Structure 1
């Protein structure tokens, strides 16, 4: 048996294999509500045979959306829309489901990527953004408003409330988004956080607000359901957030009960210099994994089955996450299991598609069915 297709347990939740479908924004919501697109998009991925499906970055308040077309979980209406999607998936797929809760901070109020991704002004349908400090992402953009104590309290509560709603919707797991240059990452990095109060300056101070958010979510989400955190291993900018600081954050999250650390990077500064290549973030994941016992998710241009298997066999990560690769090939886990000589779960409606060369590919299939 390959390591890729062995189970892994996160708290009281056991994943059937170590393939994670990373959260990928679709920019297809209506007033924060998930739509039929999400049912179709997530539904097909839920039939892929992966071990875990994470729903895209889901805003905890309207101002936390990356774009006006992002999904949210801040009201009865947004909760009901997401529940409809989850219930539709659950009718046909046993795959564990997670939701990534997020706030975009100064990177909010933007166009969808296929429309250019530029910051939208209030006159264009956008809104005033907020951040740890009044520093824009790009010099040409208007500055965000620095959050005061009331704003910090509001957002902490919004994350906790969204965690309660996620439990009511029926999600098995929550991933807290503290990466990609969004609000919690903005607090972590000295490039975006220049506060002089207890939330800025030292590493402990810069970690304080993200850790408070985690604690509030942990208290609000059922204790038997796990919470993971996506962190930014490095800003890829001199003087910014780096692996050493990420290790300190991972250790603190481990102490507070995080069930996994999802290691990504970049997205905070337009000055970043990222050495893009196959598995380019895996060395970052490995560096953190060597310092903590919390399971580590590696991500970043993982496209081949043997590449994923090697990452696990070499103990560089405990799980691997796919994003664009599984959009391109929604049956990636099937093909990976075939290549590695292993088995994967498939819906019985698909059992007859099993190729003759891989007669034992699908678990529980009946090869002689009429």
Structure 2
């Protein structure tokens, strides 16, 4: 029996398989409100056999957006726009998740296909960014250091967005602590040079993430699975390390996280990454600690046998893929066929099933 196509249960949610869709920013929202594009984009993966579809990094406050075109969950209008998308994912048999995010010093930037690069000026629709320390990401504007009141407001933003996400029908919530965004900025000594209770030691640098986990868990109750995405290394000298990531993952689990979604990088422009198929899988294995911490693996996982092998070797408990789903929105149906797993197809597609 295929491990990849076996179910997985997290608290009150059972996911039909372990081949999942990573959150991928579409930069296509209007004032944080998702559009028809997001509906078609996300629903197709559920039709294509995904077990869990996690919607893109969704800002918990307006100033937390990566770009002015990012999705949000700071208003009821945004919540109501997400609800039919969640319904469409559910109607096709998949679980629906959303990644709650704050971009910190990497906020207020141009979207990838804009003519400009770097930070969007305030007089052109941008805003002043915030971070643990007033250290800019290379080529971006210098952020303002968050004070205690600002940190409290960030926590409140995550809590309110989590409530709206659950009210919209999302099954799974993921806190974005990776890719150089705000929670990652607090975790890494390269971006966090504070001298108060949120800086210095690893315990202090992890304090904001754990505060948010506690507050969100209290808000949404015991039945909602909470995932945390982390960058397990900065790929840069003196940065966040895999051993530190494993420690933070253990703390996060103690504070109510149900799975650690292990990625890497994104904090600094001078990172050095050796990219190859499955290049981040060893990081997931380190964080998993021999099976003590549930983790997912991601990073150039593009083939069914490759994904199955990662699980069979005990490196991870589930697989996230991104670009392969963009190339083939029916990656799940294809992977099941290649592994000999008998899964349900949408009846509208049955005539195309490989025999």
Q: TM-score, normalised on structure 1?
A: 0.93
Q: Distance in 2 between matches of 1:62 and 1:226?
A: 25
Corresponding residue of 1:9: 9
User: Quick check: 1:315 aligned with 2:314?
Assistant: yes
How far 1:117 moved relative to its partner?
Answer: 4.5
Contact 2:118 2:140 in 1 (8 A): no
Contact 1:167 1:222 in 2 (8 A): no
Does the residue aligned with 2:296 lie in a helix, a strand or coil? strand
Contact 1:254 1:292 in 2 (8 A): no
Query: For this pair of structures, how many residues does the alignment match?
Result: 354
How far 1:294 moved relative to its partner?
Answer: 2.7
User: Quick check: 1:300 aligned with 2:294?
Assistant: no
**Where does the alignment leave 5 or more consecutive residues of structure 2 unmatched?**
none
Q: Distance in 2 between matches of 1:217 and 1:13?
A: 17
User: Quick check: 1:27 aligned with 2:8?
Assistant: no
State how 1:101-120 maps to structure 2 within 5 Å: 101-115=100-114, 117-120=117-120
Q: Distance in 2 between matches of 1:269 and 1:232?
A: 12
Contact 1:60 1:158 in 2 (8 A): yes
How far 1:292 moved relative to its partner?
Answer: 5.5
Q: Distance in 2 between matches of 1:95 and 1:15?
A: 7
- Report Cα offsets for 1:158-212 as digits up to 9, x if no partner: 0001111111001111011000000000000000000111000111110001111
- Root-mean-square deviation (Å): 1.2
Q: Distance in 2 between matches of 1:148 and 1:105?
A: 13
Q: Distance in 1 between matches of 2:125 and 2:309?
A: 46
Contact 1:279 1:302 in 2 (8 A): yes
How far 1:295 moved relative to its partner?
Answer: 1.4
State how 1:1-370 maps to structure 2 within 5 Å: 1-90=1-90, 92-115=91-114, 117-138=117-138, 140-290=139-289, 293-355=292-354, 358=355
Contact 1:250 1:292 in 2 (8 A): no
The structure-2 alpha-carbon separation of the partners of 1:117 and 1:264, relative to structure 1 and needing over 3 Å to count, comes to farther
Contact 1:247 1:291 in 2 (8 A): no
Q: Distance in 2 between matches of 1:345 and 1:15?
A: 14
Q: Distance in 2 between matches of 1:216 and 1:63?
A: 20
Q: Distance in 2 between matches of 1:59 and 1:223?
A: 23
- Report Cα offsets for 1:2-43 as digits up to 9, x if no partner: 111111111221111110110000000000000000011011
Contact 1:34 1:85 in 2 (8 A): no
Q: Distance in 2 between matches of 1:322 and 1:89?
A: 17
How far 1:51 moved relative to its partner?
Answer: 1.0
- Report Cα offsets for 1:96-128 as digits up to 9, x if no partner: 100100000000001111225521110221110
Runs of 4+ with deviation above 6 angstroms: none
How far 1:349 moved relative to its partner?
Answer: 1.4
**Where does the alignment leave 5 or more consecutive residues of structure 1 unmatched?**
359-370
Does the residue aligned with 2:260 lie in a helix, a strand or coil? strand
Question: Which has the greater radius of gyration?
Answer: 1
Q: TM-score, normalised on structure 2?
A: 0.97
Corresponding residue of 1:368: none
